[in-house]
Homo-oligomer: A and B are copies of this chain.
Amino acid sequence: MRAPTGVIPRRALRSGDPAAIAQLVAATGFFTSEEAAIARELAEAVVAHGPASGYEFLLADGPGGLAGYACFGRIPGTEASFDLYWIVVAPHLQGQGVGRWLMALTEAAIGELGGTRLYVDTSSRPQYAPTRRFYAACGYVVAAELPDFYRPGDGKVIFLKALEQR
């Protein structure tokens, strides 16, 4: 997949990234403050502890700063199953294929780490319909649904993609 113009991927986190990630997550207007705090904490854990934190990042630098990022990691206790914890694209860059490109790079990075299955959790709420359509368009299928998981009326939908063996 061709890279979006002027957007460059990198895997290594820098010390300023946790703040930039928190800002990006907040800028989408899509996440709760608890979620934004978690996003920042995961990045801080990687800056402090590296891969031992259990989290991996793939960042996309754009001309005006962080264009998007993905955060993922092997699920503890599994041989080769990964969770995609976050995939976020800056609001002004959405709808230009940055998400698809970031997802493809993330899947490739997970393949390099030996991952064979990638799970993504999302909400069943109407607000998340575009998110669910995005995952479906990326080749993910619904593996399970847990009604009322997040709160009454807000279920968890677990998407799965079996990654191609390389």
Contact = CB atoms under 8 A, between A and B. Distances in A.
Interface residues of A, number: 24
Nearest to A41: B76
A100 B149 CA distance: 24
A61 interface: no
Chain A interface helix/strand/loop/mixed: strand
Interface in A149-165: 149-152, 158, 160
A64 interface: no
A145 interface: yes
Contacts of A149: 75, 78, 81, 117
Interface of A: 32, 34-35, 38, 75-81, 117, 119, 143-146, 148-152, 158, 160
